Amino acid sequence: MGIESKHPLYIETENKWTRVRDSFLGSDKVKEKGEVYLPKLSSQDKKSYESYVMRAMYVNAIKNTVQGLVGAVMRIEPVINAPDRILELAQDITGTGVSLKDFISNMLSEQLLMGRQGILIDRTEDRAYLSGYTTEQMTNWMDDVIVLKETYVAHALNDTYDMTYEVQYRELMIDEDGKYVVRIWRDSQGWSLWNEIYPTKVGQALNEIPFVALSGNELNLNPTQPPLMSLVDTNLSMYRTSADLEHGRHFTALPTPYVTGIDGDSELKIGSGSAWILPDSSSRAGYLEFTGQGLQALEKAVEEKRSIMASLGASLLQTEKTGVESAEAVRLRQNSESSVLVGAVLSVQEGIAKALSLMAEWEGVSGDIEVELNTDFSDTKISAQDLTALMGAWQSGGISHETFLHNMKKGEVIANDVSVEDERDRIDLQNPMNLD
């Protein structure tokens, strides 16, 4: 098949990625797929099926969960220690206006969603920059070769305002001479080589591909199970149950009159300006009412699936409990969520650190690079009672100044990037006894 060929492991996992991505994109995308996620009921025609889909409710637990978990990490600024040149470039790490903080946030979202992504380190004449790639874009790989699927804007020949998005493939490889080369392939009556570039570093060819791949907790290209896969499948199951519930409500909630003892061809009008005169004293008229238990079973199923989603990580959707949840149950649920989140945080942390190191090499600067992301996901501040106890322990010599400041940072009273020495200097400066 050529450049558009997919790796066997990609093909094996592609359906899962599609389910996850569609679920994240929300109601419009899920409903657009029709019977893929919501099979027709027996004897439904096109029009009735469209109404069936329209009435169904899709609650986007996936997006809400991802945004909530990323927010729990990014509520505290990432700590980046790097040479000044890298910190300068971090203000616009992509060269397109995206800061390193936003880049990290996007990576966390993608890592939670798919568990697999990549970072390409590249450069213009003026500077190095980072480009992020989703798991779907990393279509093929083998020894010394990575293939990335991209889109570019194509303009019509006679109208610069007429634009379309077209597909191209970026092939990153080490050639027979051990040199890094980038080949761009475009479809012009068949895939053909459109451009070939040999990037250099200080005038010298590169001998490795400057690409960092993250997959689960490893730095490689092999697919892994998307972290939220179970939540995705439960969310789609709830969507199907919701469709049946809303379908049942629609037909059972609408008033349906009935009349007996008259000719079937008779025309009857309903309204305040109409009266029915029934010819036979045994004739009857009334409204059909639904009395079965079917809808209650569906309503119960929706609530059960909502509860399952909460236990799988969508705690933002969990309804208020009628009883008191035990401290142990809360701890287990939060630990389950945190374990997934910690894995994503550590992967992104390692991937960003490696990408910035390659970026620094390309910029010709040296120095240690450290990336530290927040792993304290609780926004509970230190209580006044605990603060008083800490202060007393420190003042009485029960704990050191360092331990006191550590707990103040953990309680978010003091910023995380403030050192013990910094805080001592601030105290000295603000101490009235030191003022002239």
Q: Is 303 helix (H, G, I), strand (E, B) or coil?
A: helix
Lookup: tokens for 424: 């001592």
Among 216-220, 365-369, 428-432, where is mean pLDDT lowest? 428-432
What is the 8-class DSSP label of residue 77? P
Q: Is 272 helix (H, G, I), strand (E, B) or coil?
A: coil
Instruction: State whether the Cα torsion 345-347-350-353 is positive or negative.
Output: negative
- Whole-angstrom CA distances from 156 to 42, 151, 162, 166, 186 are 47, 16, 5, 12, 16
CA 226, chain centre distance (Å): 11
User: Exposed, middle or buried by CB within 10 Å (0-12, 13-18, 19+), for 263?
Assistant: exposed
- Whole-angstrom CA distances from 283 to 15, 255, 278 are 59, 20, 6
pLDDT digits (tens, 9 = 90+) for 83-131: 999 999 999 999 999 999 999 999 999 999 999 999 999 999 899 999 9
Give residue limits of the domains in the chain: 9-118+218-261+277-373, 380-436
CA–CA separation, 295 vs 308, rounded Å?
20
Cβ 360 vs Cβ 367: under 8 Å: yes
* pLDDT score of 174: 96
For residues 283 and 223, the model is more confident at 223
Q: Is the pLDDT of residue 178 over 60?
A: yes
For residues 13 and 414, the model is more confident at 13
The predicted model gives 298-315 an average pLDDT of: 62
With cut-offs at 50, 70 and 90, classify the pLDDT of residue 319: very low
For residues 238 and 82, the model is more confident at 82
* pLDDT score of 282: 67
* pLDDT score of 298: 58
Amino acid type, 380: T
With cut-offs at 50, 70 and 90, classify the pLDDT of residue 297: low
Q: Is the pLDDT of residue 317 over 50?
A: no
Record the pTM: 0.75
* pLDDT score of 403: 77
